[in-house]
Amino acid sequence: MGELLARSAPDDWRTPDAANTLYLQLDSGRVVIELAPDFAPHHVAAIRALARSHYYDGQKIGRVQDNFVVQWGDPATKGITVPALAGEFSRPITAASSFTVLPDADGYAPVVGFTNGFPAARDAQGKTTWLAHCYGTLGVGRDIDANSGSGAELYVVIGHAPRQLDRNGTVAGRVVYGMEHLAALPRGSGPLGFHEKPDEGVTIRSLRVAADVAATERTPLEVLRTDTPLFAQLVELRRNRADEWYKVPAGYIDLCNVPLPVRVSAPTPPG
Amino acid sequence: MGELLARSAPDDWRTPDAANTLYLQLDSGRVVIELAPDFAPHHVAAIRALARSHYYDGQKIGRVQDNFVVQWGDPATKGITVPALAGEFSRPITAASSFTVLPDADGYAPVVGFTNGFPAARDAQGKTTWLAHCYGTLGVGRDIDANSGSGAELYVVIGHAPRQLDRNGTVAGRVVYGMEHLAALPRGSGPLGFHEKPDEGVTIRSLRVAADVAATERTPLEVLRTDTPLFAQLVELRRNRADEWYKVPAGYIDLCNVPLPVRVSAPTPPG
């Protein structure tokens, strides 16, 4: 894969929009999240506004459940109420929708593939599309009511893809850099990985929209485009590994096993 | 799922054989591994012998690659050579082979299911069977040569199931308890998650066969049997979530998403 990426052209990469990029700053380093306004416009707007109000700053990552999710954000700690939003679990497919089909069959959806770098799915009729829950997916916490999420409580998948969550929750983005700062957090001691002891859990130093951060303090990233011949080659390379170590190529790849390469596009990123 | 397990009978559970159970002791706690001698008899025998020689004790977990594996064991640090073994990547299906089919289609194998609690697969002709690489799987490291593994170097999957490894490596067991002690380890700073700095990486305090540990010092575990009506109910409950939170049941479950419950069968386990 390294060799293939070394042959990539500048056009094979894109720079995420700073207005749709979040920096989640922990003591251990920076987690960079790309938001998905095409799929969750209202939640993304709410998350952006909450970040700009510094709502997430100082909150604890209050849940770390092994092989499932990390989760943070509690309006009560800030003494505020955040308005609930209608769930954005799927959206209509329009003529403008970009979608690169992954030819491999998927058990959870009739058609899967990628939309602007996000693992995604479609229904059999080609009417609706939604983002899939893979490792690194950013989701919106909610209660029983489908329309009770607000963006005040967020989670990131840190285990085997919990695809059963697809179309049951709003996916707002995905981690593109620094995932290890979330995945390696100590697991919570309580049921479902919730922290129960006062000294448990790391604190979010800040959560900022990249556009609000001085250019010199940004992490300059490029993500590989998923609508290119190069990406199709990458998928094929992973579907049938050609390197000598592999004796039996799988002949298949599942959606959440497809790597989505990200590179730092300047020599010395901060954070 | 909790309610279903609360209704389980004693016969729905089995106690892993202490001779096929490993205790990997870290400063943070104990990881319990059940070995799979039915699938990898020679590697399991070699691992057991290495554990009894205290070979793994004091070794560092030298690789922690995010969303992939942790890995340990280097004969050079002990000044020994461990004999290579023929790969045990799959084995013939015999009349005695237990296999509970998971009806859900799988992209990586024609038939998947469970053998004595291990996620497993079969070929279309019903001639061979192998263990699948899921979260928590214990695998044997090897070089390019398929027959270069020895048990001296082991890995555990800590990310989304790398099913492309199926039939390419020897699976020797799976973690049944304490997985968080491996999954939450700080990631290695070098390529492929290898630790490159001398102060990186935790040290294995000891790795013991449970049968060699005093009965009072053992972790008394029971694992849910996978060949029972109760287990079939559990799979169905996860395939189509009945709880109110879910609005769109998946109608499907992938092999590595099926929970394999384990319970502590005595009130105060050590470790």
Q: Which of A62-66, A172-176, A177-181, A267-271 has the lowest mean pLDDT?
A: A267-271
Share of chain A above pLDDT 90, in %: 92
What does the pLDDT read at residue B242? 87
Q: Does the pTM exceed 0.95?
A: yes
Q: How far apart are alpha carbons B87 and B75 in whole angstroms? A: 19
Asked whether the beta carbons of residue B184 and residue A187 sit closer than 8 angstroms, the reply is yes
What does the pLDDT read at residue B155? 98
Q: How far is B101 from chain A (nearest CA, A)?
A: 16
What does the pLDDT read at residue B268? 53
**B267 falls in which pLDDT band (50, 70, 90)?**
low
Q: What is the mean pLDDT of residues B217-244?
A: 96
Give chain A's count of helices (H) and strands (E): 5, 16
- CATH entry, A20-217, from 2.40.100.10, 1.10.3720.10, 3.30.70.100, 1.10.287.1080: 2.40.100.10
Q: Choose the closest CB to B160 out of A106, A144, A257.
A: A257
**B232 falls in which pLDDT band (50, 70, 90)?**
very high
Q: What is the mean pLDDT of residues B86-101?
A: 93
Q: How are strands ordered across the β-sheet holding B69-72?
A: B61-64, B69-72, B154-157, B137-140, B171-177, B29-35, B21-26, B206-209
- The overall average pLDDT reported for chain A is 95
Domains of chain A by residue range: 20-217
Based on the number of CB atoms within 10 Å of its own CB, is A251 exposed (0-12), middle (13-18) or buried (19 or more)?
A: exposed
Based on the number of CB atoms within 10 Å of its own CB, is A33 exposed (0-12), middle (13-18) or buried (19 or more)?
A: buried
pLDDT of residue A270 exceeding 60? no
Q: Are B166 and B133 contacting, i.e. CB atoms less than 8 angstroms apart?
A: yes
Q: Are B15 and B224 contacting, i.e. CB atoms less than 8 angstroms apart?
A: no
Q: How far apart are alpha carbons B206 and B203 in whole angstroms? A: 9
Cβ-Cβ contacts under 8 Å, A256 against chain B: 160
Q: Which of A8-22, A79-93, A254-268, B126-140 has the lowest mean pLDDT?
A: A254-268
Tens digits of residue pLDDT in B47-80: 999 999 999 999 999 999 999 999 999 999 999 9
pLDDT of residue A235 exceeding 70? yes
Q: b vs e for B212-249, b when ≥16 Cβ sit within 10 Å of the residue's Cβ?
A: ebeeeebbebbbbbbebebbeebbebbbebeeeebeee
- The overall average pLDDT reported for chain B is 95
What does the pLDDT read at residue A97? 79
SS3 B76: helix
pLDDT of residue A266 exceeding 80? no
pLDDT of residue B224 exceeding 90? yes
Q: Which residue of A has its CA nearest to B245?
A: A144
Q: What is the mean pLDDT of residues B125-130?
A: 95
Q: How far is A90 from chain B (nearest CA, A)?
A: 11
pLDDT of residue A219 exceeding 80? yes
Per CATH, domain B2-264 is 2.60.40.10? no
SS3 B208: strand
pLDDT of residue A268 exceeding 80? no
pLDDT of residue A105 exceeding 80? yes
SS3 A163: helix
pLDDT of residue B265 exceeding 90? no
What kind and span of H or E run contains A156?
strand A154-157
What does the pLDDT read at residue A267? 60
Which residues of A lie closer than 8 Å to B, measured between beta carbons?
Answer: 64, 66-67, 89, 104-108, 134-136, 144, 146, 159-164, 166-168, 179-180, 183-187, 238, 241, 244-250, 252-254, 256-257
What does the pLDDT read at residue B48? 98
Tens digits of residue pLDDT in A141-199: 999 999 999 999 999 999 999 999 999 999 999 999 999 999 999 999 999 999 998 88
What does the pLDDT read at residue B197? 87
Closest Cα partner for A135 from A182, A192, A204? A182
Amino acid at B134: C
